Structure 1
Amino acid sequence: MSDAVHIKICGLSDPDTVAAAVTAGARYVGFVFFPRSPRHVSLAQARALALSVPEGVAKVALTVDADDDMLRRLTEDVPLDMLQLHGHEPPARVTEVRQRFGLPVMKAVGVAGPQDLEDLETYGKVADQLLVDAKPSENAALPGGNGLSFDWRLIAGRRWNCPWMLAGGLDAGNVAQAIRLTGARQIDVSSGVEIRPGVKDAARITAFIRAAQSALAASQPNIG
């Protein structure tokens, strides 16, 4: 991992905000395939959006407990670089998806307290990347994108067997603190750059990316 902060803008659904994310310097763009989410896109929508993304920006598909048929249609129809599993997929399923569909897999792991850290160790051994997210409540309608954060001190200084990305309740106002507390070098945001659920805002995307990049720059020693 380089010294830069790599940003993922997740839940994109229109060409203007995809372009805004790319222009502002996002390294990942995420498309959600979960009908209950206000950010859900069809395969046709996602294909059109993905084709507009230049090389060097990873296209990520967020799925929730998707079966093989869904993943097959998804990977055949949409030019993707990574699959994000955001449901209750066990470690064996992560391994199976990696082997069967030939794409790197990012596994989302919800954190609410110390008892959840063991899951990060477990999934870090089978996934290509981890998404360390806030754990939704038992009755939450969505597995992510709820604007919730967790106590970042729980993962301060921790590392796993694969690269990881911090998510959960981040916005332009708190991302610098999150980076300082956790040491994260990859950041995921969805609701924190929206004007309402499912509607991204280009100005908020740009402000978020600038805030994240500035936070890391400010923490670097001045050797000039």
Structure 2
Amino acid sequence: MGIEIKICGLKTASTLEAALEAGADLVGFVHFPKSPRHLALADLPALAAQVRHRALTVALTVDADDAALAAVIAALDPDILQLHGRESPQRVAAIRAAFGRPVMKALPVARRSDLAAVPAFAAVADRLLFDAKPAPDDLLPGGNGRPFDWTLLAGLDASCPVMLSGGLDADNVAQALAVARVDGVDVSSGVEDAPGVKSPDKIRAFIAAARSAAAMKAAPPSTAFS
């Protein structure tokens, strides 16, 4: 099975179309006012209609309460809820039960000890997303354009699908996949010209690089004849 590719933080119909045409498996929309990728509720229905039956839609929120989640779901009708805040395993389980949607939980990683929480979250989430832990002065919980040590994920058995995020771009995604051996990759700042401004060319380049890397990994070894 090939990897899944998620383009996150899309804001416009044109960049969304670039992601869809290039073959993104998942497209993410951010509803978090502090983010340069934030979308108002009124912006979501048109984008959702553009995606329908072409990819999975992901709604990214940060420590949202039930009312805020209900509003996002009503506007976007997402296939997956991405929780990118400090939600506990108990909160993740409650959200999944209350809204009946698959949940992807983002976990910040800087050192091996950060992976201690994996079993608790894997037991209640449908997917896990490993992202670089924010620096103390970062304003955002993700999308800061920095990678972490991918070797921390090598050999990790999370018992559910896992994706890698944090500082990925077209130049390093092949190396990231080779090292981390995850089920998918998620990019936001790595396909932007400026914070919140996606580049169609960078989106296409990232997806092509990730697909090429996955194909090389899946290809059987060649046999040389003398």
- TM-score bracket for this pair, using the shorter chain length: over 0.9
C-alpha separation between the residues in 2 aligned to 1:11 and 1:161?
Answer: 27
C-alpha separation between the residues in 2 aligned to 1:159 and 1:25?
Answer: 27
Q: Does 1:59 align with 2:57?
A: yes
Q: Deviations over 1:170-215 (max 9, x none)?
A: 0000000000001123000000000000000000000000000111
Q: Deviations over 1:33-84 (max 9, x none)?
A: 1001000001111111111013141100000000011011111122210100
C-alpha separation between the residues in 1 aligned to 2:157 and 2:56?
Answer: 23
1:71 maps to 69
Residue number among 151, 168, 171 corresponding to 1:170 in the alignment: 168
Secondary structure in 2 matching 1:52: helix
1:196 maps to 194
Task: Give the 5 Å matches for 1:1-224.
Answer: 2=1, 4-219=2-217, 220-222=219-221
Q: Deviations over 1:140-196 (max 9, x none)?
A: 100000001100011112121211100000000000000000112300000000000
* Deviation larger for 97-106 or 48-57: 48-57
Secondary structure in 1 matching 2:145: coil
Secondary structure in 2 matching 1:49: helix
C-alpha separation between the residues in 1 aligned to 2:46 and 2:40?
Answer: 10
C-alpha separation between the residues in 2 aligned to 1:26 and 1:53?
Answer: 11
Supply the AA of the counterpart residue of 2:200: A
Does the 8 Å contact 1:7/1:27 carry over to 2?
yes
Secondary structure in 1 matching 2:29: strand
C-alpha separation between the residues in 1 aligned to 2:176 and 2:154?
Answer: 10
Secondary structure in 1 matching 2:176: helix
> TM-score normalized by structure 1?
0.96
Q: Deviations over 1:106-147 (max 9, x none)?
A: 000000001101112221111000001111112310000000
* Structure 2 unaligned spans of 5+: none
C-alpha separation between the residues in 2 aligned to 1:54 and 1:35?
Answer: 25
Detail structure 1 runs of 4+ shifted over 4 Å in the superposition: none
CA RMSD of aligned residues (A): 1.2
C-alpha separation between the residues in 2 aligned to 1:163 and 1:155?
Answer: 13
Does the 8 Å contact 1:172/1:208 carry over to 2?
yes
* Structure 1 unaligned spans of 5+: none
Give the count of matched residue pairs.
Answer: 222
Q: Deviations over 1:8-56 (max 9, x none)?
A: 0000000001100010010000000100100000111111111101314
Supply the AA of the counterpart residue of 1:221: P
C-alpha separation between the residues in 1 aligned to 2:77 and 2:16?
Answer: 15
Secondary structure in 1 matching 2:118: helix
Supply the AA of the counterpart residue of 2:81: L
C-alpha separation between the residues in 1 aligned to 2:136 and 2:102?
Answer: 29
Secondary structure in 2 matching 1:88: coil
Does the 8 Å contact 1:17/1:201 carry over to 2?
yes
Q: Percent identity?
A: 52
C-alpha separation between the residues in 2 aligned to 1:222 and 1:46?
Answer: 45
C-alpha separation between the residues in 2 aligned to 1:49 and 1:120?
Answer: 32
